[in-house]
A and B are shown apart, each in its own frame.
Chain A
Amino acid sequence: NAGVTQTPKFQVLKTGQSMTLQCAQDMNHEYMSWYRQDPGMGLRLIHYSVGAGITDQGEVPNGYNVSRSTTEDFPLRLLSAAPSQTSVYFCASRSGGPDVGQYFGPGTRLTVL
């Protein structure tokens, strides 16, 4: 199993550009989440999904869109990039059940100029 994969690893955007961060998992996990990590702050939840076709907002959803058309894929779209979105983005997945932690992707480092 590849686990959780994210592409790209690095990306530089100009203010106002749009792009999609890709996330895929091959473990048939129900739950998938997107987080951002900024210096001096803990990871913060952007959006999450509890299954195909079901998504919900996390703590910092503004400026981001998600969809979950398949169990495997959970792309994160930046609609109009802003310098405040410069961050490291992590995708994570987990199966259902009360005693199971999350599997994290390797992260995408995004810089918005």
Chain B
Amino acid sequence: KNEVEQSPQNLTAQEGEFITINCSYSVGISALHWLQQHPGGGIVSLFMLSSGKKKHGRLIATINIQEKHSSLHITASHPRDSAVYICALSNFGNEKLTFGTGTRLTIIP
């Protein structure tokens, strides 16, 4: 069983829609990361969070440590948001990140 599971695997939506991507995990963690991988392959770190909620522009990340679940939300989605979104787990003092397989998001104009 994978330690980290993302859903959905693929998501297609119309421009402007509210997007939710989910990440569930089965092990203890001290932080969860959300990453974005562009169609060209580059990877950008979006959020690192250990509790509560973080917001950056149209992106919001939440985490519930007790339920071992995190969500990434995109408001007013735009075609430039089309990318693969990856969830990863870490423990402080340990650089061994464990990655999900990603959610491929496509936003249609």
* A56→B4 CA distance, assembly (Å): 23
Contact B101 A101 (CB under 8 A): no
Contact A104 B44 (CB under 8 A): yes
* A107→B39 CA distance, assembly (Å): 13
Range of interface residues on B (Cβ < 8 Å): 20 to 34
* A102→B98 CA distance, assembly (Å): 13
Tally of A-B Cβ pairs under 8 angstroms: 56
Interface-facing stretch out of A16-24, A36-44, A64-72: A36-44
Contact A101 B86 (CB under 8 A): no
The residues of B that contact A92 with a CB separation of less than 8 Å are: 43
Cβ-based interface call for A78 (8 A): no
Cβ-based interface call for B96 (8 A): yes
- Most chain B C-beta atoms within 10 Å of own C-beta, residue among A33, A42, A99: A42
Contact B95 A33 (CB under 8 A): yes
Cβ-based interface call for A88 (8 A): yes
Contact B42 A41 (CB under 8 A): no
The residues of B that contact A56 with a CB separation of less than 8 Å are: 95
Query: Known contacts being A42-B101, A45-B97, A58-B96, is A104 close to B42, with CB within 8 Å?
Result: yes
Query: Known contacts being A48-B95, A99-B48, A101-B33, is A41 close to B43, with CB within 8 Å?
Result: no
Chain A positions near chain B (C-beta within 8 angstroms): 31, 33, 40-45, 48, 50, 56, 58-59, 88, 90, 92, 98-104, 106-107
